[in-house]
Every structure is written in C-alpha cells, then in structure tokens.
Amino acid sequence: MKLVSDSTKVIYLAIMIIFIIIVGLFWLDYIGLINIGKIYHQYIAKEAPSVVDAADDEPSLIEREEFEKEKDKLLQRIEDLDKREAKIVEAEKIIAKEKEKLEQLQKGLDQEKKALELEKKKYSGYKKNVMDLAKKIESIPPQDAVDIMVQWEETLIIDVLRQIDQNAAKEGRMSISTYLLSLMPKEKASRVMYLMTQL
C-alpha cells in the first residue's frame, strides 16, 4: 500500500512550484528586474475611478481661462482679417474707378490727337494753298491782284500778305504787300491792317 497517493504528490508538487515562482518573483523584484508593486497596482489592485478622480478629467479653471483667451484671440484675429478684407475690397473699387477714369481720359486724348492730326493736315493743305496764292498774286499786275483779293475772307488776305513778306525776305527783295494794301478800298485796307496787328 502506497504511503502517499499520486494525487497528493501532484498537490505537493504544485504547491512547491507556486512557492518557487513566488520566491523567484520576489527575488527578481529585489534585484530590480521587475517591479511587483507597480504590477500589483496596475493589474491587480486597479479600481474604478472615483467621483473625485472623474472630476479631474474636467478642464480646470485655469485651462478654461486659457481656452477663453485663445478663443478671444482667434475671434479678434478673424475680425481683423474681415476688416482688412473690407479695406482691400474698397481699395479695389477705388482702383477700378480710377482705371475707368484713366481709360476715359485716354479715349479723350486719343480723340484729341486724331482731331489735332486732322487739323494739322488741314493746316498743311491750307498753308500750301496760301503759298501758291502768294506766288500767283505776285505774278500778276497789282491792281488785278487786289481785285481778286478783296473778294477773299480777311484772314486769307492777311495770310497771303504775310506769305508775300516771307517770300520777299527770303529772296532779299522789297515786298509788295504794302503797295497792295494801298490799292485796296480804304475801309477794307484799314480793317485788314487792324486785324494784322491782332492776329
């Protein structure tokens, strides 16, 4: 008859293994390889958070104040950006108006330039006609010339007489403009001489 049964041996063996494991764990904790206290609190003695601990999850007063400050800064920044955007939009409107004014001014200048060029062409043609008339007047008898000239507008008479003076000065001879005036009717001659001093 066996003094110790097999089941008793198994129990003793299990107790011995558990004892060895416990002693081994304490030994490892002693030499610093593991931290039994930390493991115990982390896995074994872990408790549900209390009401006080749960309250710690809520933002503190300082954190709320900081949050409000950051929020105010953000709102102020947004307001500043809105103001800057409004100023930019207003500036763009002003620039657009000024651009439109410049375009209108440019159109006006272009029209004036075209009109000036047209007047220049007309004057160029008029000037050529005056030069031709002056040569023709000088080439015919003075009385015949006067009979023709008194039919003209006074401004044309003045321009032709001045051209006759220029031709004479250029060629170094006496001008016949004074003589032609003397042959004109006194009233006409007086009017032409007066206008020559004014124009």
Q: Is residue 25 part of a domain?
A: yes
Q: Is residue 42 part of a domain?
A: yes
Q: Please name the residues in contact with 167: beta carbons below 8 A apart, sequence gap of 6 or more.
A: 134, 135, 138, 175
The number of domains in the chain is 1
Q: Is residue 108 part of a domain?
A: no
The DSSP code for 151 is T
Higher pLDDT, 47 or 121: 121
Per-residue pLDDT of 37-55, as tens digits, reads 777 777 665 554 444 444 4
Its pTM stands at: 0.43
Q: Is residue 100 part of a domain?
A: no
Q: Which domain holds residue 42?
A: 1-46
In 3D space, the residue among 153, 145, 134, 132 whose CA is nearest the CA of residue 180 turns out to be 145
Q: Is residue 12 part of a domain?
A: yes
Q: Is residue 121 part of a domain?
A: no
Amino acid at 69: K
In 3D space, the residue among 151, 149, 185 whose CA is nearest the CA of residue 164 turns out to be 149
Task: Find the mean pLDDT for residues 129-158.
Answer: 92
Residue 57: pLDDT over 60: no
**How would you classify residue 22: left for phi > 0, otherwise alpha for psi between -120 and 50, otherwise beta?**
alpha
* Residue 140 pLDDT: 92
Q: Is residue 9 part of a domain?
A: yes
- The Cα 43–Cα 167 span in angstroms is 126
Q: Is residue 7 part of a domain?
A: yes
Please give the C-alpha separations between residue 13 and each of 8, 10, 26, 28, in angstroms, as whole numbers: 8, 5, 20, 22
Q: Place 123 in a pLDDT band, splitting at 50, 70 and 90.
A: confident
* Residue 45 pLDDT: 56
